[in-house]
């Protein structure tokens, strides 16, 4: 959506397979959207909830077939941008590194420590260099609205917190889990990075609604993380997430005002036009079309 002005809300949601199932999604359509950055995790499903446009994408593909370290995060974010999304909500399961953040609770995390490796972290590169500010990776406005909606759905919500992103697919050792606690991390997961980095480069305000499924591996008196227990907890929390999405649609202000993430690329482009790689510039038509002209 080259040069698009962000005046009307269009909420993108990246989450689990079938997250939109059971939601009152009017005029729902499943659409395959191509990206120059490769294959996205799958088609998007778009429609309206309470008059607000929502577009959903299953992060791990249909049937959860793509592991976290093999998700094409660049293609996923690019596809959302091409769909005209103005704001991006990330929903995922997390492990807790704090006693008070118990399984079944929700965390609207606002900081991230990136411990991932081997993943494409930027849309930019040789021939078109850019450096975006990422001190505050989460949009405060969107996160607040999302937390309000989750509380309205009767969830216990922790506002703020540090998410440590790890590669996976294995869960942490006890030593790693304790180390992350000492670093100041509050929750742990495998997918917030580079998703949040790329959302910022695409000028999409990003917020996380993380569902606590377990206590990771830092407690000596408790067995380590078990996948079966995680999916058992998710059955309950996903229903609450549905209610939160409906609540968010109702709570959005009528007028969408600009936030800092909307103009993240204003001073980020480093390579002068004569030195820019035309091929990469063409690939960035959606992500950076507003500033590339």
Active site residues: 214, 216
Task: Report d(CA 12, CA 5) in Å as an integer.
Answer: 16
Contact between residue 83 and residue 34 where contact means Cβ atoms under 8 Å apart: no
How many CB atoms lie under 10 A from the CB of residue 3?
Answer: 9
Task: Report d(CA 37, CA 74) in Å as an integer.
Answer: 6
Angstrom distances, CA of residue 132 to CA of 11, 203, 288: 22, 10, 12
Contact between residue 167 and residue 116 where contact means Cβ atoms under 8 Å apart: yes
Letter string b/e over residues 259-278, b meaning 16 or more CB atoms within 10 A of that residue's CB: bebbebbeebbebeeeebee
Angstrom distances, CA of residue 20 to CA of 84, 174, 259: 18, 35, 27
Contact between residue 159 and residue 59 where contact means Cβ atoms under 8 Å apart: no
Q: Which helix (H) or strand (E) holds 15?
A: strand 10-15
Task: Report d(CA 67, CA 121) in Å as an integer.
Answer: 17
Contact between residue 108 and residue 241 where contact means Cβ atoms under 8 Å apart: no
The candidate with the shortest Cα–Cα distance to 259, out of 208, 206, 210, is 206
């Amino acid at each position: 959506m080259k040069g698009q002005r962000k005046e009307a809300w269009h909420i993108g949601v990246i989450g689990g397979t079938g997250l939109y199932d059971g939601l009152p999604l009017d005029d729902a359509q499943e659409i395959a959207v191509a990206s120059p950055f490769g294959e996205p995790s799958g088609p998007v499903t778009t429609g309206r909830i309470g008059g607000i446009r929502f577009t959903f994408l299953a992060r791990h593909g249909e049937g959860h077939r793509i592991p976290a370290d093999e998700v094409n995060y660049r293609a996923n974010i690019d596809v959302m941008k091409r769909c005209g999304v103005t704001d991006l909500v990330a929903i995922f399961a997390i492990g807790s590194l704090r006693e008070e953040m118990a399984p079944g609770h929700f965390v609207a995390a606002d900081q991230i420590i990136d411990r991932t490796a081997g993943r494409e972290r930027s849309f930019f590169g040789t021939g078109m260099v850019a450096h975006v500010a990422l001190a505050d990776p989460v949009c405060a406005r969107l996160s607040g609205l999302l937390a309000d909606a989750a509380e309205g759905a009767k969830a216990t919500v922790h506002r703020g917190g540090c998410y440590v992103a790890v590669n996976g697919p294995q869960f942490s050792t006890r030593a790693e889990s304790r180390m992350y606690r000492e670093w100041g991390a509050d929750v742990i997961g495998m997918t917030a990075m580079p998703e949040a980095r790329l959302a910022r480069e695409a000028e999409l305000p990003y917020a996380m609604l993380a569902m606590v499924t377990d206590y990771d591996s830092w407690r000596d008196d408790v067995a380590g993380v078990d996948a079966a227990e995680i999916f058992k907890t998710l059955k309950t929390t996903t229903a609450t997430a549905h209610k939160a999405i409906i609540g968010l649609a109702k709570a959005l202000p009528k007028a969408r005002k600009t936030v800092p993430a909307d103009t993240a690329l204003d001073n980020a482009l480093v390579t002068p036009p004569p030195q820019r790689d035309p091929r990469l510039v063409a690939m960035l038509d959606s992500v950076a079309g507003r500033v590339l002209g």
